[in-house]
Amino acid sequence: AGAAVTISVFALSAAHTLGIQVDFFSAIVLSVLSAVSACGASGVAGGSLLLIPLACSLFGISNDVAMQVVGVGFVIGVLQDSCETALNSSTDVLFTSIAEYSQWRKEGREVNVSKV
């Protein structure tokens, strides 16, 4: 989740900075592309930053400019990586709790989320 958000935000920021109008369909395609690409980037140091040129190519942004965006990502890397890790951890908790509640329902237990 964190890498997908990073890829999307950086690519959209680059497009906005260059004055490129992003329509709704392109934003959806970018989100799907980022999510699929992020699956392979997990656990690789700077993996999300290395996928930014791929996302930028969707909007016709040259590799030179895309690598400048990656450079900005390296400059703010500590903050960006911390936010990315926090988002990854929170989605891990979410999916783990969904799996546990699903198991409880299969076992016939009553699941009352308001008490949890």
pLDDT at 116: 54
pLDDT: which is higher, 30 or 116: 30
**Looking at the predicted structure, is the pLDDT value of residue 23 above 60?**
yes
Question: Mean pLDDT in the chain?
Answer: 85
Contacts of 14 (CB under 8 A, 6+ apart): 52, 56, 59, 61, 65, 66, 69
Which has the closest alpha carbon to 65: 22, 20, 113, 110?
A: 20
Please state, in angstroms and rounded to a whole number, the distance separating the CA atoms of residues 47 and 38.
8
pLDDT: which is higher, 2 or 34: 34
Listed by start position, the domains of the chain span 2-108
Give the pLDDT confidence of 30-87 residue by residue, as tens digits. Answer: 999 888 888 877 677 777 788 889 889 989 999 999 999 989 888 887 887 788 778 8
56 and 65 in contact (C-beta within 8 Å)? yes
Which has the closest alpha carbon to 49: 61, 27, 30, 67?
A: 67
Geometric angle at alpha carbon 34, from 36 and 54, rounded to 5°: 105
92 and 2 in contact (C-beta within 8 Å)? no
- Report the predicted TM-score, pTM, of the whole model to 2 decimal places: 0.73
pLDDT at 65: 92
